[in-house]
Amino acid sequence: MTPAFPTARTPNPLDAPPLRWGVLAPGRIAAAFVTAVSRYTRQRVVAVGSRSLDRAQSFAAAHGIERAVGSYAALVDDPAVDVVYIASPHSEHATQAQLAISAGKPVLVEKAFARNAAEAQRVAAAARDAGVPAMEAMWTRFLPQTDVIAQLLADGALGEVTTVLADHGQYFTHDPQSRLFAPALAGGALLDLGVYPISFASFVLGAPDAVVATGSLTDAGVDAQVSMTLVTGSAQACLNTTLLARTPTTASISGTTGSLEISGPFYAPATLALTTADGRSVRPPDPIAGHLGLCHEAAHLAQLIADGATESPLLPLDETVRTLRTIDEIRRQVGVTYPGE
């Protein structure tokens, strides 16, 4: 008998009630977000804000957005904007999220949610005090495949989980002006790439009891490569992230009665291969492929807002803070501190 995959319970993103979105800080990931939302949801991106009006206007023209403004304050104060998507460098997330929250606007904040756990906690507290929804844009959590994995774990399909493996490495030419290499912009592999395997380990195992990390730094002092072991009870997560090489970006979960392999990139719609004593079964990627899967996080937040909820049950703010607390400890061990911390 071949092991079976459960059916994903993830709603069709087209079912989420349409809201009017404002994009704060246009760039590459913002372009991917707008494309996904426009193609696979009923959400409408109606405004884009940047410190550069020319940049905002250029982005608006490229994506058919009706309004462009030359300040973040003008974007969050726009009465025609229902919800704000923040796509700026990590160093700016907390300040800009609080700006939107103070204007009464729900926020979807790109990963990593903030530079550190203290900043994330302040944003979470501000959102809760204001009764405004806030959510990290860790898009993997909202993909249909993630719900399938959650059901397999809840059903004990793998037995007692003992080992989680995950990596995320990309090669980037060293550029001191790039946000990835700039300490002032909270650069480095961890917040941009490593947050994916760390969040994945949190999803599978929960909060770690112990963290062991080693890594290498760039000349500017941000993390170039980090290897980590997170220990939760009797289970271990072995994770790696790097700016120095393109790695397989795969993940796996192994337990006493089975294992699940997730093809690369594991954080995007991917192939799942389930192996148990009954045999091996393969689930192909979801039909909404690649970064178009960003549509699910937008639809999820829109539904939460329509339902009057203030936090996501799939990724609560406490877990977002906890993940950054883990990253804080990893940074402490490898010797990374951002200016002003």
Q: Where are the alpha helices (DSSP H) in the chain?
A: 28-40, 53-63, 72-76, 90-102, 117-130, 144-154, 189, 195-205, 295-307, 317-334
The verdict on whether 105 is a catalytic residue reads no
Give ∠ CA 286-44-320 in degrees, rounded to 5: 60
The secondary structure of residue 6, as a DSSP letter, is: P
Residue position matching structure tokens 């170039």:
224
Instruction: Give the pair of three-digit tokens for residue 278.
Output: 């009954």
CB 261 within 8 A of CB 248: no
Q: How many CA atoms lie within 13 A of 323 on its CB side?
A: 26
Q: Which of 90, 111, 179, 322 is catalytic?
A: 111
Q: Give helix 195-205 / helix 144-154 axis angle, nearest 10°.
A: 30
Q: What is the largest CA-CA distance in the chain?
A: 61
Give the Cα separation of 295 and 264 in Å (integer): 20
Q: Are strands 107-110 and 134-137 parallel, antiparallel or unpaired?
A: parallel
Annotated catalytic residues are: 111
